[in-house]
Amino acid sequence: MSDAAQPTAAEVRAAAEAVKTALDRHLAAVERRSGEDDPAVYEAFNELAAAAEEYDELLYDRYDEVTPFEIPGTDSDVLPPYQGPEEANALSVLIRRDYAVAEPQRLLAQAQRVADLDADSVAGESSAAAAGSSVHAALGVLFGEFEPDEIASRHKEFGLEEGDSTLWVTAADEPAEPGEWLDAPFDQADPHRVVCRFDVSAVFDDERGEDGLDVEADVDADGVAVLEEVDEVDVVDADRRALDADR
């Protein structure tokens, strides 16, 4: 960082004062907590984490010094307190899986094979001719033929490389009306109604590898993290108790 961009001593001092204030607010919220999942405690926790992180960064930028604290994750890492119905009448399961097209030629060949098997009609012949013409067309063929879970278990066969994935189970008061959310399936996802959540990411493997632990032992044959052994996977059970032993 250049001298011109460095924070001033006054900015570092102000950040330190913000941490002190956030500490007081967090303690006060804990002392007044109304239950295990008190939103005020959750909010104070995030404010303290943000203030501490800001101070840590400014202290390093100005003085090349660090604090002895490990800054915990905030909203992006921790689910907010559950505020959904105690007895849910409906559930929504939200899933996202990311892939990289690692082997385009393998992808095109597999799509062409599937399309050729279906080429029993004029329309089928037309589809078969286009299947191997582009990655876009090939993906349409494969995802139209196979269920997402099958593609997940056979992704290498289709020339795909797994990225991050997440699964949220959310509670609802009533089932949605048919066709109600199809145009924007994830827009109404409310973190406060998440019953449980499962994340799989390469960053968890990297963190375990740095500690010299056996990463492969924590991943099953389908590449899914074994929850009992992978501490870094963010898991919250139906009672909202974290299973992460490091937290």
> Domain containing 206: what range?
84-102+160-247
Considering the domain architecture, whether residues 166 and 211 belong to the same structural domain is answered as yes
- Residue 161 pLDDT: 94
Residues 164 and 227 in one domain: yes
What b-and-e string marks burial along 151-167, b requiring 16 or more CB atoms within 10 Å of the CB?
A: bbeebeebbbebeebee
240 and 189 part of one domain: yes
In angstroms, rounded to a whole number, what is the distance separating the alpha carbons of residues 16 and 67? Answer: 11
CA gap 153, 223 in Å, rounded: 8
Pair 90, 201 in one domain: yes
Tell me: do 215 and 94 sit in the same domain.
Answer: yes
Mark whether 91 and 212 lie in a shared domain.
yes
Q: How many CB atoms lie within 10 A of CB 170?
A: 21
Residue 199 in domain: yes
Domain identity same for 245 and 200: yes
Last residue of a domain, one of 13, 34, 63: 63
Residue 197: strand pairing partners: 168
In a domain, 175, yes or no: yes
User: pLDDT-based confidence at 158, cuts 50/70/90?
Assistant: very high
- For residue 197, how many other CB atoms are within 10 A of its CB? 17
Residue 244 — very low, low, confident or very high, per pLDDT cuts 50/70/90? very low
Q: Residue 69: inside a domain, yes or no?
A: no
Overall domain count for the chain: 3
Name which of 16-25, 54-63, 123-132, 147-156 the model is least confident about.
Answer: 123-132
Sheet strands side by side (includes 90-101): 90-101, 160-172, 194-200
Q: 235 and 113, same structural domain? A: no
**Any domain includes 57:** yes
What's the pTM value of the predicted model, to 2 decimals?
A: 0.52
Both 94 and 10 in one domain: the answer is no
- 186 falls within a domain: yes
pLDDT number for residue 196: 87
Residue 37 sits in the same domain as residue 50: yes
Retrieve residue 170's tokens.
Answer: 């959310």
- The answer to whether residue 182 scores a pLDDT higher than 50 is yes
- 122, 166: one domain: no
Residues 97, 141, single domain; the answer is no
Does the residue 79 lie in any domain?
A: no
